[in-house]
Structure 1
Amino acid sequence: MPATIASIETLLVDLPTIRPHKLSMATMACQTLVLVRLRDSDGLEGLGEATTIGGLSYGPESPESIKCNIDAYLAPLLIGQSTANLNALRARMQRHVKANGFAKSALETALLDLQGKRLGLSVAELLGGARQTHLPVLWTLASGDTQRDIDEAFQRLDDRRHCDFKLKIGANGVDDDVRHVSAIKAAVGERAGIRVDVNQAWDEATAVRGIAALEDAGIALVEQPTPARQHAGLVRLAERFIVPMLADEAVNDAIDGFNLAASGFSGAFALKIAKAGGPLGALELASVAQAAGIGLYGGTMLEGTIGTTAALHAWATLAPMAWGTEMFGPLLLKDDIVVEPLHYHEFGVELPKGPGLGVTLDEDKLAFYRRKDD
């Protein structure tokens, strides 16, 4: 008899950040992870994670709603079902629950982890096999203070931990943001690539003015300068400037990717397993991008180690991405809830070894950081 899903437990885990992380829509001093522990009838456990940014300031799913919707709607659909057919379980979730990609991603990750442990295979092997085991990782400079960001960049370069940097802008006036970014690029020179993430903060006219100045300053990439649903404006910006545009919030899954590519967009897509409803959905989007000649970037929702590792297993199955990855989420946190943290070195991160995700929970740390009223 094949194993069935016996129980699904969700926990809210609050982890402090190493410094305030300033975005256009929120400033973070704590990150809340939604941890999923999925157990089968043979006693095996699969781990998953859903994480978003700033409660509801980033998107329509909050940590609390993710937990609630898994508990009330998604878990009852899965409990009692065979663990052997992930495609059937994905289809069941899609058929009965609309949207809720973050919640579905956590469950899909837990099912992949469980299946990997059962078969003695890594998640990357379940997804076809790793083409790379050391993936490049950039660092986000988001203190909001120019000199502090410059000092931080040089420290990361000297430590050989990161050699590309992203700056979060959009919370201040465009002229102030351009001065901030230009000063950092001038300071690091050719030692590092600099790109910006506007997090949808500009209208198209402001974007034209800001991007022109950023292009002159030598910025390599501009991420989501305008609101997510304004696809036509993003296409116009991509056509107007030499510096590439990176679509993030504008592209969640393969359907979004196809529509944006068909409208004439060129540049790059930010893959995120949470936006796409899981690692498999993110890889479907990657296939659309590759067919359209659009570059790829491994994005993060600032997940902890479990969510970050799930994404790394997916990215490892792809050819090296044109724009690398930003899988630095665990480095932004003061502590971790796993026994063995990810190994960051030589401007990148190692893909964990072992069955499933290759990650083991630290039960004491989990007990300390879990939200007690969940």
Structure 2
Amino acid sequence: MTPLIESLETLLVDLPTIRPHKLSVATMACQTMVIVRLRTSEGIEGLGEGTTIGGLSYGPESPESIKRNIDTYLAPLLVGQPADNLNALRARLDRHVRGNAIAKSALETALLDAQGKRLGLSVAELLGGARQDHLPVLWVLASGDTQQDIDEAFQMLDTQHHRDFKLKIGSRSVDEDVRHVAAIKEVLGERAGVRVDVNQAWSESAAVRGIAALQEAGIELIEQPIPAREYAGLVRLANRFQVPMLADEAVQDVRDGLDLINGGFSGAFALKIAKAGGPRTALELAQLAKTAGVGLYGGTLLEGTIGTTAALHAWATLPELAWGTEMFAPLLLTDDIVTEPLNYRDFGVELPRGPGLGISIDEDKLRHYART
């Protein structure tokens, strides 16, 4: 008998961060996640997560809108439908609901988790099979304080948690940002790789000046230095400098990727299941990039363990991630809502084993942190 989707529940969950996390668009002291609990007529539960950065600071979806739109518009399209045909369910959502990529990603994750549990397969196996079960993970230095970032980096190196670091810049002047980054790179030297994420904060002319100085300082990758929709400018920057450009907000899905590639972009793409609308559509972008010779990077919207694990299952199926991953976000939170946290070791993270995502909810923690 075909299993049906019986119910969909969403919860807002607020988890404090271990320190203020400073980006050009927001400073975060708490992360809000939308947790999806999908139940089928067989009694199987699928877990999903929709998370963004800083409310509406990062994009058009907020935690509150994600929850409201799932409850009001997306869930009614799924409840009562067969739970085992993900292609038909996704087509149904796309036919009736425009955009809402993060909400759709949370639902696709829950559907994959339920399907994996039903079949006794991991999400990675549903996506074609894992090529690796340990993925490299960098750490983001985003306190905004140079000495604090240096101390944090050495702590991560000494404990063998991370050996590549990304610095969040763009909230200060170009000169201040360059001094901050260069000082950290000089102290770390060859012991660690250092990258920067400008989060669209610079104009193209400011980016030319800033990137030239960062390249001279030995920075290995520049993420989204200018606004997302300035495709031609990003291509010009990629062709002007030896240090590669990483497109993030500029490449949401396959169409964006195709436009950049056709425009002559030669850098790398940051994959994110949330901005693509789900693990499977993120992998479609990865295949396009691979065909065009564009490097890949496994990115995050600072999801908790559920969303991070969904992304890890997707990234594990890829043959290569030239720039590794940044799936560190659960470590940025003071607590968790799962029974077994992810295992971070040897400068990376282990892919959870077991059917579906391979994780389960800690009901007490969920009740404690869920917003009422």
Distance 1:106 1:155 in 2: 33
Paired position in structure 1 for 2:241: 241
Letter in 2 for 1:163: R
> What SS does the corresponding residue of 2:258 show, helix, strand or coil?
helix
Q: In the aligned structure 1, how far is the partner of 2:255 from the partner of 2:81?
A: 28
Q: What is the aligned partner in structure 2 of residue 331 from structure 1?
A: 331
Q: Deviations over 1:37-79 (max 9, x none)?
A: 0000111100000000000000000000000000000000001
State the partner residue of 1:178.
178
Letter in structure 2 aligned against 1:360: S
Q: CA deviation at 1:321?
A: 0.3
Q: Give the equivalent residue in structure 2 for 1:135.
A: 135
The corresponding residue for 1:258 is 258
Give secondary structure in 2 for the equivalent of 1:30. Answer: strand
Q: Is the 8 A contact 1:132 1:320 kept in 2?
A: no
Q: Which amino acid aligns with 2:297?
A: Y
Q: CA deviation at 1:364?
A: 0.0
Does the 8 A contact of 1:103 with 1:277 survive in 2? yes
Distance 1:139 1:64 in 2: 28
Shift of 1:319: 1.2
| Contact 1:156–1:163, Cα closer than 8 Å, also in 2 | yes
Q: Which amino acid aligns with 2:35?
A: L
* Residue identity matched to 1:124: A
The answer to whether the 8 A contact 1:248-1:270 is kept is yes
Cα distance, 1:131 vs structure 2: 0.1
Structure 1 distance, partners of 2:155, 2:84, is 47
CA distance in 2, matches of 1:284, 1:68: 28
What SS does the aligned partner of 1:274 have? helix
Q: Residue 212 of structure 1 corresponds to which residue in structure 2?
A: 212
* Aligned pairs for 1:198-347 within 5 A: 198-347=198-347
| Equivalenced residues, count | 372
Contact 1:297 1:322 in 2 (8 A): yes
CA distance in 2, matches of 1:284, 1:306: 21
CA distance in 2, matches of 1:283, 1:92: 20
What letter matches 2:150 in structure 1?
Answer: I
Instruction: Give the 3-state SS of the residue equivalent to 1:98 in structure 2.
Output: coil
Deviations along 1:238-270, one digit per CA (max 9) or x if unpaired, are 000000000000001111111111110011000
* 2:110 counterpart SS class: helix
User: What is the aligned partner in structure 1 of residue 84 from structure 2?
Assistant: 84
Instruction: Tell me, yes or no, if structure 1 residue 167 matches structure 2 residue 164.
Output: no
Q: Which runs of 4+ in 1 moved over 6 A?
A: none
1:275 counterpart SS class: helix
Partner SS, residue 75 of structure 1: helix
1:313 maps to a residue whose letter is H
Deviation per CA, 1:327-372, whole angstroms, max 9, x where unpaired? 0010000000000000000000000000000000000000000001
CA distance in structure 2 between the aligned counterparts of 1:260 and 1:167, rounded to whole angstroms: 25
Counterpart Cα distance in 2 of 1:255 and 1:112:
24
Counterpart in 2 of 1:157? Answer: 157
Letter in 2 for 1:39: R
Letter in 2 for 1:54: G
- Equivalent AA in structure 1 for residue 301 of structure 2: M
Partner of 2:348: 348
AA at the equivalent of 2:333 = L
Q: Percent identity?
A: 77
Q: Following the alignment from structure 1 to structure 2, what is the Cα–Cα distance between the partners of residues 319 and 54? A: 33
Q: Distance in 2 between matches of 1:255 and 1:85?
A: 25
SS across alignment from 1:60: coil
Report the counterpart of residue 363 of structure 2 in structure 1. Answer: 363
The letter of the residue matching 2:132 is Q
Q: Distance in 2 between matches of 1:113 and 1:84?
A: 11
2:37 is aligned with 1:37 = yes
In 2, distance between residues paired with 1:302 and 1:207?
A: 25
TM-score, normalised by the number of residues in structure 1 = 0.99
Asked whether the equivalents of residues 28 and 54 of structure 1 are also in contact (C-alpha less than 8 Å), the reply is: yes
Q: CA RMSD in A?
A: 0.4
- Equivalents in 2 of 1:86, 1:161: separation in Å? 36
Between the aligned partners of 1:232 and 1:203, the Cα distance in structure 2 is 13
Mapped to 2, the partners of 1:291 and 1:98 lie a distance apart of 28
Return the alpha-carbon distance in structure 1 between the equivalents of residues 173 and 259 of structure 2: 32
The answer on whether the counterparts of 1:257 and 1:288 sit within 8 Å (CA) in structure 2 is yes
Amino acid at match of 1:44: I
Q: Secondary structure at the match of 1:302?
A: coil
The answer on whether the counterparts of 1:105 and 1:274 sit within 8 Å (CA) in structure 2 is yes
Q: Distance in 2 between matches of 1:27 and 1:320?
A: 32
Per the normalisation by structure 2, the TM-score is 1.00
Given residue 64 of structure 1, which amino acid in structure 2 is its aligned partner?
E
Where does residue 124 of structure 1 map in the other structure?
A: 124
Q: Deviation at 1:320? A: 2.6
Give the corresponding residue for 2:24. 24
**SS state of the match for residue 205, structure 2?**
helix
Q: Specify the alignment match of 1:67 in structure 2.
A: 67
